[in-house]
Amino acid sequence: MTDAYIYDALRTPRGKGRKDGSLHEVTSVRLSALTLNAIKERNNLEGHAVEDVIWGNVTQVMEQGGCLARSAVLASDLDERIPGLAINRFCASGMEAVNLAANQVKGGAGDAYIAGGVEMMGRVAMGSDGAAIAVDPSLAMETYFVPQGISADIIATEYGFTRDQADALAMESQRRAAKAWEEKRFEKSVITVRDQNGLPILDHDEYMRPGTDMQTLGSLNPAFQMMGEQMPGFDKVAMLKYPHLERINHIHHAGNSSGIVDGAAALLIGNKAFGEKHGLKPRARIKATAKIGTDPTIMLTGPVPVTEKILADNGMQIGDIDLFEVNEAFASVVLRFQQAFDVDPELVNVNGGSIAMGHPLGATGAIIIGTLLDELERQDKQTGLATLCIASGMGAATIIERV
């Protein structure tokens, strides 16, 4: 089995994901094509240079429907002989695209792939695909389905996290993200989105609120309390599943949950021969990948068991990891990860995360792998782990090593 290397990693800035957001007039296909073009240009790829484009996105309807990956290839400057594969593992779709590409390379099914994902949440509303887990009563009732925000509050209740702890993590995410942009830590990875005349549309993450403080966060009402305690009463559903909980402590709100944004990201994955052929130097090796299923009601605890799995499968300990990227879907997800492994918070999400910059569902998994690689290089460290919680109860993880 051959090694799979990361040769390049880039992303677009994250737009606000609203009608007044800078990327609102940019379609999913166009943003994807711009990202693919940037990979092509930066690495001088010509002809049938890669085996496939594997592209993650979650809400696969309307402009994101069909095989968006193939549409993006045809809309880009890539050779039409390169096919496309659209995949969906909810919030880990971008990571799963990268992991699938790496494992294809390791298994000898092609020398190189472009992998990543996109989500235009301001144009294609989250949940508009009518997922069976949420709308089919026979499945939803059997699995004790609750919305993700309720799941995040269940985690806070089960593991004893307070609103102040969640708000402090959110404030720190904003501080770190602002510092990262100030110090131009994303400079080599973030591409400018331009219009058809070449004029810049967006060159920075526009969702950030760098002035956020505890007082501001304290003024926000819990986002999921009403749907939990009143109609449709999801707290009762949760307590049927977890009768030891006397009540659900609703600590999450817009300020300590991930932002709804637009964005895309791509990585160039290949074997050693590919790099030699194209004169490219590998930046990191994809050492290991993993995925796991978890309790579908509490739903968002996946980063813990999938990290345990990927470490055990590869004979590693948590102390072997230098830096971590744990997607900030909700504050309690990261708090639980830090609690479970007793990791230093200074090693987790060094440059902020989705609370500050937003979570474009299908792209985030690829974004955090790229961010992790950049930070390993900046700090001259060796090994990093990226992981995400996933809707309906799953977890995914990737370990990378610099070369």
Cite the active site residues: 91, 359, 389
Residue 194 and residue 26: Cα distance in Å, rounded?
10
d(CA 322, CA 373): 11
Q: What are phi and psi of 295, to 5 degrees?
A: -50, 120
Of the candidates 14, 30, 9, 10, the residue with the CA atom closest to the CA atom of residue 263 = 14
**CB neighbours of residue 403 within 10 Å:** 13
The letter for the amino acid at 83 is: P
Give dist(CA 332, CA 301) in Å, integer.
Answer: 9
Q: Omega into 232 within 30° of 0, i.e. cis? A: yes
Helix (H), strand (E) at residue 84: strand 84-87
For residue 147, the SS3 value is coil
Please, what is the angle between helix 148-159 and helix 331-341, to 10°?
40
What is the C-alpha separation between 52 and 101, in angstroms, rounded?
8
Strand partners, 118: 264
Which residue blocks in 43-136 are alpha helix, DSSP H?
A: 68-75, 93-106, 132-135
Look at residues 154, 71, 81 and name the one whose alpha carbon lies nearest to residue 332.
Answer: 154
User: 359 and 261 in contact (C-beta within 8 Å)?
Assistant: yes
